[in-house]
Each structure stands twice: as structure tokens, then as C-alpha cells.
């Protein structure tokens, strides 16, 4: 076991079970909210997109965004 894993394991083991359960409930609530919000945002992509001005944007994606040639 790596040193960091042992430190984390020892810290978690030191927390009383009831407090640990409450912490996980809170964290799971955040995760569910964030996931729902993220999928909602994902579904909105492109719905209000403006017509592009670059030629062959899909083919030259890396160049236009990062200045990289394929």
C-alpha cells in the first residue's frame, strides 16, 4: 500500500461510522446534483449556436482552437 493510501485509510478509519455515513450522504447529494446539471447543460449545447465563419471548421478543429496542424 502506498504511503498516501495508508494516510487516507488511517484518517477514514479514525472517523466514527455515523459521521462518515453523513459525510457520504452529503457528497452523494452533490454528485447527483452536479451530474444532473451537467447533463442538462450538455443537452443545451448547439441549440443557440451562431453560424460559423471558418471554412472546414470540423476538419480544421485542432488548428482553429489550438493552432496545431494535424
Query: Where would I find the H helices in 1-70?
Result: 3-14, 17-44, 61-66
In a domain, residue 66? The reply is no
In a domain, residue 38? The reply is yes
pLDDT in tens, the chain (70 residues): 789 999 999 998 999 999 989 888 888 888 888 888 888 888 887 787 777 777 887 788 888 788 876 5
What are the residues whose beta carbons fall under 8 Å from the beta carbon of 15, sequence distance 6 or more?
A: 23
The residue range of the domain holding 26 is 16-44
Cβ(24)–Cβ(15) under 8 Å? no
Handedness of CA 53, 59, 61, 63 (dihedral sign): negative
Give the predicted TM-score (pTM) of the model.
0.37
In a domain, residue 25? The reply is yes
In a domain, residue 29? The reply is yes
Domain total of the chain: 1
In a domain, residue 10? The reply is no
In a domain, residue 28? The reply is yes
Amino acid at each position: 500500500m502506498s504511503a498516501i493510501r495508508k494516510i487516507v485509510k488511517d484518517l477514514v478509519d479514525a472517523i466514527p461510522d455515523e459521521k462518515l455515513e453523513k459525510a457520504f450522504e452529503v457528497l452523494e447529494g452533490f454528485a447527483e446534483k452536479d451530474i444532473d446539471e451537467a447533463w442538462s447543460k450538455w443537452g443545451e449545447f448547439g441549440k443557440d449556436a451562431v453560424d460559423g465563419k471558418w471554412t472546414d471548421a470540423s476538419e480544421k478543429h485542432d488548428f482553429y482552437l489550438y493552432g496545431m496542424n494535424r
